[in-house]
Structure 1
Amino acid sequence: MNHHAATLAPSPIGLPVPAEAAARPRFVHQGIAFGCDYNPEQWEPAVWRDDVALMRDAGVDLVAINIFGWSALQGPDGSFDFTALDEVIALLHGAGIRVNLGTATASPPPWLTTRYPEILPVMDDGTTRHPGGRQAWCPSSPVFREHALALVEAVAKRYADHEAVALWHVSNELGCHNALCYCDTSVRAFRAWLQRRHGTIEELNRAWGTSFWSQRYTDWNEIGAPRLTVSTRNPGQVLDFHRFSSDELLDYYRAEAAVIRRHSDRPITTNFMVTAHVKNLDYWTWAPEMDVVANDHYLDHRLGDPRTELAFAADLTRGLAGGEPWLLMEHSTGSVNWQPHNLAKAPGEMLRNSLAHVARGADAVCFFQWRASLQGSEKFHSALLPHAGTDSELWREVLELGAIVDRLEEAAGTRVVADVALLFSWEAWWASDAENRPTHAIEYLDQVHALYAALHELGVTVDIVRPGADLTGYALVVVPGLYLVRGDEAAAVDAAVAAGVHALVTFYSGIVDEHDRVRPGGYPGAWRDLLGIRVEEFAPVLPGTALSLESGASASLWAERITATDAAVVDVFADGPAAGRPAITRRVGASGSGAGDAWYLGTLLEAGDLRALVAHVIAGAGVEAEAGASATVEITRRVGDDRAYRFVVNHGADDVELAARGVELVTGDAVTGSLTVPAGAVRVIREEASA
């Protein structure tokens, strides 16, 4: 077994690293940080003192403050008042608690949007969004940027050398609500971005395919943002607008970071939102700009399997961090307040959620927020200190978690081991889920999550990497529904297979290039030769229509008319629009002597059948699953130069027994051959590095 991630270079996977990155400050913390967001402006000063004392009781050692502090710091006359913030920072510092200091720019105060209404964002239907919520600003607005950077300047100058400041926190969840702005200011910025990207109007016309529907442009000023139209919009324009919008907010991040760096040598980050329902920022392009990668994650009960999505998000965040440890900047002790059904966590679930992130590379466990708000939009969002106070089961669980995080201190800085890489792309997500596509019954994440879930249930740890990443050292690369892929990115998979890596590619992959232009000659376009197949036609079926394979496997939603040109047929459609055609193929030694096998899956298998196929593929690739892992028992390893840790998270209702030797850190017990992990519990075994 060739454990890959334990020896990765400390830079984001597959990303060009800026020249100055090596000289950037690193976030250094003793052990694994345990922390929260704190919003002292919601409370009287007497409460601050009680809060800091309780933070010490809980073991909190990193607190994010001044996230939404703009209206408390600056009035309409432009003057600043740091009296309260000074006091809060002094209280935290006096208690030995380090500060993750926000720049306070996430939401402008009402006086600013009243005075300058042109900074308000405009939606794709042309309507303006007004103050009263948060992030009521256009990312392209020079007026907003002028005032926001003046605030950052004042904050950075005042606290640059304060001993309490361990980390700078730019804005908050950038693009959560305002990533796509369609106002006239954004249109002008979009045109400038297009000129830089395409160079000439002729090249833009080629990239967008504007000969279709008489859309050919003759001047840059003819181009607008892709607001709603009476039909469907140009997909090339929509795709480029997503790219522009991600770049525009990244440029804003850079602007704040540049101001901070003029005054401070402390590390800088912002909190990503790597989760299933936030898709507007391409974090592969953002990650190289971070001194440390941080993520906010909340269980999403709109999904069929929120717990597996948590694992996926954690693995993807680790991928963004290049295998380096990362920070869980926010998650919840219990329910959130923004889903249709906000479910409380079961006893022990907060602990399992928290340590599942640590098991997958997080070196910080932080929450939104410290004390539950009494007013405002998030008053029913859970917190470390609930409305019920310290005489509550939740508070007792918080104390337990804080103590356990302290016991895991020695695991900080280690890296997760994985033998399987899964390609993931925000660009493919944007392009694949377009207005016009073969079927709206399947979205990009459906395939991604299905393949990840199969690997997860089989006990296989996965590195999630960007297309074009170096795949050296992996045993298997999985390519689920990667609709958009560049030529060099496709070639990276070809090269890996030629070098002996096995591949599993699923339907709707390799179809278009970076301009959303179909590769002619039959699907799957970029990987026809690698896979030894040719798809003549997609043949999706209506929801509720069952598909059967000759092996007895069940599928749904997608079929296609496949011809095996240089691949063995593993299974065949027994019915449906592709009856008698291959459904699963395998090209053995796909690129010659010493090459890996290249598998293709041309339908959406039911979960059990998909898991069986993936089990067969990983066995052929020589990937060893973690013994004892299952759909309810997560087992993950973190490895350092001279130590190794096995994390076991038992989500099930039954105790499990595992072979193990070493020291169990949660209980402090020696393990001399076997370990029982109680139902609902987490255990972490320090093993020999070679175990």
Structure 2
Amino acid sequence: MTSPLTSRFPHPKGSDGTRRLGYGADYNPEQWPREVWAEDVRLMQEAGVNIVSLAIFSWARIQPTADTWDFAWLDEAMDLLHTAGIGVDLATATASPPPWLTTAHPEILPVTATGETLWPGARQHWRPTSPVFRTHALRLVRKLATRYAVHPALVAWHVNNELGCHNVYDYSDDAARAFRDWLRDRYTTLESLNHAWGTAFWSQRYSDWDQILPPRLAASHPNPTQQLDFKRFSSDALKEHLLAERDVLRELTPDVPVTTNFMVMRGTKGMDYADWTDAGAVDFVANDHYVIPGPQDRDELSFSANLTSGIASHQPWFLMEHSTSAVNWQPVNTPKLPGELARDSLLHVAHGADAVCFFQWRQSAAGAEKYHSAMVPHAGADSDLFRSVVDLGRTLRTLSPLAGTEREPARVAVLFDWDSRWASEQDSHPTSRLDYHQEALDWYSALLRLGIRADVVPASHSDLPSYDVVIAPVLHMVPQELAKELTRYVEGGGHLVTTYFSGIVDANDHIWLGGYPGALRELLGLRIEEFGPLPDGATVDLDNATTGSLWTDRITVTGHDVEVLARYRTGPYAALPAVTRRTTSQGSATYVSTRLGVPGLLGLLPDLLAPAGVTSELPEDARGQVEQVVRRDADNRYVFLANRSDTPVTLPGLTGDVLVGAKADESVVLPPRGVVVVRQAAH
């Protein structure tokens, strides 16, 4: 697969000119008096910081009024950082409009589906499709790019910040006009749109483009394809703003790479980042990630870092934000345990991050995020947290040889598809309890517990033949070409695994008729006439000692080459197939018709992986306790081994040079929540 990225990663350089891993934070000097700045730089050098993101929320400081500009403080900060050898990822500062702009032009403020205005007082109070906002934002971008084009501290541009975090869905009149334009580009004619949206239903047929609105609050369920297209449009609207800022920066500073910080993490679903990279919107991928406490919290961290690598086509990417310890926006904000700061950071590095940065450098004394942890906490440098920050800096310097290396591909892939996620979770479906992300995470968690390395890849970026096993949970939306691609994969010797509610609709969210699973019916060799979603709390037992929840299917096997791997033992479909596998001359296609959760998948996965000969590379005693990820270059493999548990783990017989961690004779010892990195010669 050809990558749209240009591989312009801003690797810091050591004194000998070799590439280093990046290390730093968001830096907000404008929050502090000048005398603190010198201490900041001194502590940054002590910690090994070599890059910071600057001016992210500084629009009101840079442009105090519509006609005045103040760059003196930013000039001073840029000069100070450069003198200290610290590069700057300079933000365009467009994330939060200043009060003078929203007062003069309240028409830039977003509007909710119920018609409420989102007022100033927080951040991201702007419409992605507002022409007025775009004019003022690009004026600011042009001023910044012109002033700092040749500043020696500038190593990258940081467009806006967390695009869509709070304003992904805007239902204003600006959005309505832009939505109509987007629909004209997609469908060309009203006839095509009416067909795609199925407007014969409920007398919704449009006779003029101006009749079309965003899916605002309605009397009942809005048109499902209208909802889906609005999700697609909203992601595209943010992408178009990103492209508009990028174009100004490329015009004025063509040699400076451009990025923005994605949010590939649990709970963020409005932006199709794979599509953004397909459009060449960034020169390198950057991501923000925060741990959501729960039983799968570190699984989710690994899953998101892995998916970020997939979005980046396995090229180096930038961890732009994560937390040193507690955040401020959860119901209860608990601090990280000893070792977790380093383990969380190094897991991102293992999955391809060539820079590790935090929000933020110095913990704020005021404002909404004053209780969010930072590299320098309220307690100051004389603190366990800052000492951990310094230790991590040393570790990253030790890992400098990894700069520019790529993740070693796994034999198993978990597909992630934004269209399927958006469409499968819409209203007026067989169940409202389906959670696309959770199902995909469950499969990944089970693989982690079995010690199986897997890649998480966007469906649009996937090179299916390069994987022995492809797991596609809830692949709900399957256009005809994707169905053909999956069929070619299986017939060519690949092993496909998919689940309930897959293959059901086409790109317009229309049902594939003739029985479920629609587009995948022939490939899987089965037919389903009616879904059997389960009520809350209900479960069914399977005859392989697993338990299903959420969903069941009444399966009729139609192919002579289909094997029933498990049947329902209880429930309305008792004795009927629950898990099936169709084999071809070389490959196979497996269907799992219920949600098994991690415990059930642990029992099933070995049978699904066996035809491909996929087994764990870890000793049996370490499986479930240790995550293994590999990066490599032409000469070396760098094996990351992360202890997922709170007890020490010993790995015998591991050869190579231990770069990070402890080694005793021929055994590698992983302390609780610790990470070991071993360098081995490439085979």
- Work out whether 1:467 is the aligned partner of 2:450: no
User: Partners of 2:640 and 2:9 in 1: how far apart?
Assistant: 26
In the other structure, the counterpart of 1:285 is 275
In the other structure, the counterpart of 1:665 is 659
For residues 645-668 of structure 1, give each alpha carbon's deviation from its aligned partner in whole angstroms, at most 9, with x where no partner exists.
11011131322222211111125x
For residues 205-260 of structure 1, give each alpha carbon's deviation from its aligned partner in whole angstroms, at most 9, with x where no partner exists.
10011111111111101111101112111110010011111111111111101111
In the other structure, the counterpart of 1:46 is 35
For residues 579-600 of structure 1, give each alpha carbon's deviation from its aligned partner in whole angstroms, at most 9, with x where no partner exists.
22100001122xxx3x211111
Residue of structure 2 aligned with 1:549, choices 542, 546, 557: 542
Alpha carbons 1:123, 1:181 under 8 Å: kept: yes
The residue identity in structure 1 corresponding to 2:282 is M
User: Partners of 2:332 and 2:192 in 1: how far apart?
Assistant: 48
Shift of residue 118, structure 1, vs aligned partner: 0.3
- Work out whether 1:630 is the aligned partner of 2:623: yes
In the other structure, the counterpart of 1:675 is 668
Instruction: Give 1:177-576 correspondences, 5 Å limit.
Output: 177-264=166-253, 265-287=255-277, 288-301=280-293, 303-417=294-408, 418-468=410-460, 469-566=462-559, 567-576=562-571
Alpha carbons 1:510, 1:525 under 8 Å: kept: yes
Give me the TM-score of the superposition, normalised by structure 2: 0.96
Structure 2 residues not aligned, in runs of 5+: 13-18
Alpha carbons 1:99, 1:164 under 8 Å: kept: yes
Shift of residue 446, structure 1, vs aligned partner: 2.2
Alpha carbons 1:547, 1:554 under 8 Å: kept: yes
Give me the TM-score of the superposition, normalised by structure 1: 0.95
Alpha carbons 2:414, 2:455 under 8 Å: kept: yes
Instruction: Give 1:75-90 correspondences, 5 Å limit.
Output: 75-90=64-79
Alpha carbons 2:161, 2:261 under 8 Å: kept: yes
- Work out whether 1:650 is the aligned partner of 2:633: no
Shift of residue 470, structure 1, vs aligned partner: 2.3
For residues 12-37 of structure 1, give each alpha carbon's deviation from its aligned partner in whole angstroms, at most 9, with x where no partner exists.
4xxxx3xxx65x74433322111100
Residues 424/77 of structure 1: CA separation in 2 closer, same or farther (3 Å cut): closer
- Work out whether 1:97 is the aligned partner of 2:86: yes
The residue identity in structure 2 corresponding to 1:523 is Y
The residue identity in structure 1 corresponding to 2:453 is T
In the other structure, the counterpart of 2:577 is 582
* SS of residue in 2 equivalent to 1:337: coil
Shift of residue 634, structure 1, vs aligned partner: 1.0
User: Partners of 1:671 and 1:319 in 2: how far apart?
Assistant: 35
For residues 124-152 of structure 1, give each alpha carbon's deviation from its aligned partner in whole angstroms, at most 9, with x where no partner exists.
11110000000010000000000000000
The residue identity in structure 2 corresponding to 1:596 is G
User: Partners of 1:601 and 1:272 in 2: how far apart?
Assistant: 32
Shift of residue 387, structure 1, vs aligned partner: 0.4
Let me know the Cα RMSD of the aligned residues. 1.4
Alpha carbons 1:470, 1:492 under 8 Å: kept: no
Higher relative contact order (CA 8 A, sep 6+): 1
The residue identity in structure 1 corresponding to 2:338 is P
The range that moved more, 619-628 or 328-337, is: 619-628
Q: Percent identity?
A: 48
The residue identity in structure 1 corresponding to 2:555 is I
Alpha carbons 2:9, 2:316 under 8 Å: kept: no
Shift of residue 393, structure 1, vs aligned partner: 1.0
Alpha carbons 1:661, 1:672 under 8 Å: kept: no
* SS of residue in 1 equivalent to 2:654: strand
In the other structure, the counterpart of 1:4 is none
In the other structure, the counterpart of 1:3 is none
In the other structure, the counterpart of 2:634 is 641
Alpha carbons 1:26, 1:292 under 8 Å: kept: yes
Instruction: Give 1:105-144 correspondences, 5 Å limit.
Output: 105-144=94-133
* SS of residue in 2 equivalent to 1:665: strand
Residues 77/481 of structure 1: CA separation in 2 closer, same or farther (3 Å cut): closer
Alpha carbons 1:174, 1:249 under 8 Å: kept: yes
The residue identity in structure 1 corresponding to 2:676 is R
